[in-house]
Amino acid sequence: MSEHPLNNTASLRIWQQNLNTSHSAQASLLNNPNIADWDLITIQEPYLNSYRNTTANHHWSVYYPTQHLSHNHQRSRAVTLVKTSLNTNNCRQLPFPSSDVVVVQLSGPYGRCTIFNI
């Protein structure tokens, strides 16, 4: 048992959604005022523009699969957005050998949490 028990009131709120590559669905999600209540957004089939970038705003840090630009013709099918108000010193991306998986590890009052977005 740990000498320093975790604060059980601390939590991470995660929103998950498949956007079917729709630009309007992604814009609607990001402009929804209720999305501010969430700490992470895990998106499957995100919209990607011709430069293979997704859309986001200044409230979110974007994490692509580590193999996102490794394969010229393979489209990434997952993106994770982490709220910029979270301490990014306690957030890191872990490598994963797939353009369909994003792995982000966060540490905070909720403990250490590894998120797999597939």
What's the pLDDT band for 1 if we cut at 50, 70, 90? very low
Question: Would you say residue 5 has pLDDT above 80?
Answer: no
Which pLDDT does position 6 carry in this prediction? 53
- Mean pLDDT, residues 28-45: 97
Task: Report the percent of the chain where pLDDT is more than 90.
Answer: 74
Mean pLDDT of the chain: 90
Q: What is the pTM of this model?
A: 0.88
Domains in the chain: ranges and CATH: 14-117 (3.60.10.10)
Buried b (16+ CB within 10 A) or exposed e, 44-83: bbbbbeeeeebbbeeebbbbbbbbbeeeeeeebbbbbbbb
